[in-house]
A and B are shown apart, each in its own frame.
Chain A
Amino acid sequence: MMERQSNVAEAQIDPTISKEKRVHPYTKKRVSTYIFLVVAIVIVALYSTITGSVKLNLHEVWEGLTSSKDPMLHTIVWDLRLPRIIVGLIVGMCLAVSGSIMQGVMKNPLADPGIIGVSAGAALMAVIIMIVLPQYILLLPIAAFTGGFVTAMLIYGLAWQNGSSPSRIILVGVAVNSVIGAAMSALMLLFSDRVQAVLPWMAGGISGVTWDQARMVSIYALPALVLSLFAIKHIKILSLGDEVAKILGHNVERSRFFLILISTFLAGIAVSVSGLIGFIGLVIPHIMRMVVGNDYRYVLPLSALGGGVFLVFADTIARSWFDPIELPVGVLLSFLGGPFFLYILNKGGKTRAFN
């Protein structure tokens, strides 16, 4: 799955570059980042399979994957660790791509589904389904997406004032976020008898995911991730500024709507399976921009790879390093995310944060 994803992305490379003798100044960095991330996925996936309360070696992993002679081994590798890695990869990809699209469309390096409240909106709807209407649990991803989308449109509408200024979006988002947070707390108090089942999900984690969940999240996420490749062109044209984009015959409103739609859909999918996991949507695209520049043909697919790898890695650490406790990966990432966010804010003045 990962390899296919990266091939699609590589096919996006500008035809003009290969045609000319002189190469684009960033080509080397871009190619090496691709290679690094693809290799990292393989290594991290292997590391994640052998690590845990039961340590395995590569031979045992192979055994567990290919035969069910040793049912314990087979269960650990095939039924516990593998779906968790796959869900981790997909959720990480969804979060990072969602964040990078949101940053592109709002032209703000701090836009992130977690920060501006899109994830919270998705989570609120998800919690409502889980504790108020549990009979509709199958609609969880759709509900989460709807919640996220309504929140995104609300933020965008409220921040709109002859165009959307980056700081207004963040401020409005923070305000909306706190309202949703309050609604969430109220809901949890009102239904305090059922909250226990939701708490681990709220903390944000992918522990105990099954193949069923992996299948469900794939069905929603993979088409959306492929579709997100079409976002690249739109983000690039919007980056020229609304006026220039319009003069170039681009339908700015329509493409902005499409971009918000797809990024909230991705965030909604992630929330529905893993609860609130912050940090990735904000930081991974930011790092990619620092490495390969602001060209979304690279930022977006590389963010997908980076987000996937990073979430699997962080999840492996969260479940193995704090033995005997298994820390939800969302908690670990929030611990890291806070300081890193401050670091970006601090550095924002000095670097060209975004265009």
Chain B
Amino acid sequence: MLLTKKVSFKHSESFSLDNIDFEITKGEIVSLIGPNGSGKSTMLRIVTNLLKPNEGAVLLDGDEIKNLSRQAIAKKLSMLPQVHNNELDLTVRELVSFGRNPHKGWFQKLDFEDEKIIDWALEVTNLQSYEFRFLQSLSGGERQRAWIAMAIAGRPNVLLLDEPTTFLDIAHQLEVMELIQMLNDRFGMTIVMVLHDINQAAAYSDRLIVLKNGCIEYDGNSQYVICKEMFHDIFKIDVEIFNDGDRPFFKPIRNVGKLKEVERERVHS
């Protein structure tokens, strides 16, 4: 469904993506995890053709993405960037109706079918009663649901989310994660998201991809990825791993990264 072939992207001397190869199959929930600056968000932008890779190719349903028009990509693939403008003078319904844009030409207006789909997006995200509220008047969690509603109003096959739960309290985090799970479960939407909370990533994803310094280091299900070595290699932390049924989760113990090494050296000398 979504395939990257030897993608390399050079952003600057200090940051580049190297030889990224992965395939997302239909109906999967995949989480990209990794430290800050490991290239997760860049990866999402390459997959959506917002950034063009220097080498390699991204294939969407077998077509090279660089040969597709923005609109053709948008019909199949939707993304919610991490930071979005919440100062807009828009009602929830107005925001969500932008999601129909991929299916509309320059001069086409929304028709009855579009309105039905907007109703559907509002219903799925449980925002019907908010449809005429202004975006600014909503809480963070409601706002995030409104943006998700916009992203799904184009009825994409693939939904990409960049840190959808950052800045939300735990209840709203779970609400968003459950919404994402439901989109996958009920509507078969393929989900690719960047998450910082690794426990949440493990709990809600079929597969985890771990990036570090622009390379894929681990790619597999949570049982395979969530292990002490991974945390030590990637995040430079010691952890303890627990299991809740077949769902692994971790508890951080201590940081063994650079700062600690410097400290240790100072003590020794």
Contacts and interface: CB of A to CB of B under 8 A. Distances in A.
A23 interface: yes
Interface in A2-39: 14-16, 19-20, 22-25
Nearest to B91: A24
Interface stretch (B20-28, B77-85, B214-222, B231-239): B77-85
A1 interface: no
Contacts of B50: 243, 246-247
Contact of A250 (B81, B84, B101): B101
Given A243-B50, A250-B101, A15 B110 contact: yes
A295 B90 contact: yes
Contacts of A15: 109-110, 115
Interface in A231-284: 233, 236-237, 239-241, 243-244, 246-251
B9 to A, nearest CB: 16
B145 interface: no
A245 to B, nearest CB: 8
Contacts of A243: 50, 81
Nearest to A14: B94
Contact of A248 (B90, B101, B134): B101
A294 interface: yes
Interface core residue of A25, A236, A240, A248 (most chain B CB under 10 Å):
A248
Interface string A84-123: 0000000000000000000000000000000000000000
Interface in B4-36: none
Contacts of A236: 98
B113 to A, nearest CB: 13
A249 B74 contact: yes
A25 B88 contact: no
Contacts of B99: 248
Q: Determine chain B's interface SS by DSSP, over half rule.
A: mixed
Nearest to B162: A243
B26 to A, nearest CB: 20
A19 B115 contact: yes
B132 A24 contact: yes
Contacts of B93: 16
A249 B73 contact: yes
Interface on chain A toward B: helix, strand, loop, or mixed SS? Answer: loop
B69 to A, nearest CB: 8
A293 interface: yes
Contacts of B90: 295
A237 B50 CA distance: 16
A23 B78 CA distance: 30
B158 to A, nearest CB: 12
B132 A244 contact: no
B246 interface: no
> Among B74, B81, B89, B101, which residue has the most Cβ atoms of chain A within 10 A?
B89
A246 B81 CA distance: 11
A59 interface: no
A346 interface: no
B49 to A, nearest CB: 8
A249 B71 contact: yes
Contacts of A244: 81, 84-85
A16 B97 contact: yes
B48 interface: yes
Given A14-B94, A239-B88, A241-B85, A247 B134 contact: no
Contact of A295 (B89, B98, B107, B110): B89
A352 interface: yes
A240 B87 contact: no
18 contacts: A20-B132, A24-B91, A24-B132, A230-B107, A233-B106, A237-B101, A240-B98, A241-B85, A243-B50, A246-B70, A247-B74, A247-B78, A248-B99, A249-B69, A249-B72, A249-B74, A355-B85, A355-B89
Interface of B: 48, 50, 69-75, 78-79, 81, 84-85, 87-91, 93-94, 97-99, 101-102, 106-107, 109-110, 115, 118, 131-132, 134, 151, 154
Given A15-B109, A243-B81, A247-B79, 19 more contacts: A16-B97, A16-B115, A19-B115, A20-B131, A20-B132, A239-B85, A241-B85, A247-B48, A247-B50, A248-B99, A248-B154, A249-B70, A249-B72, A249-B73, A249-B74, A249-B75, A249-B101, A249-B102, A251-B70
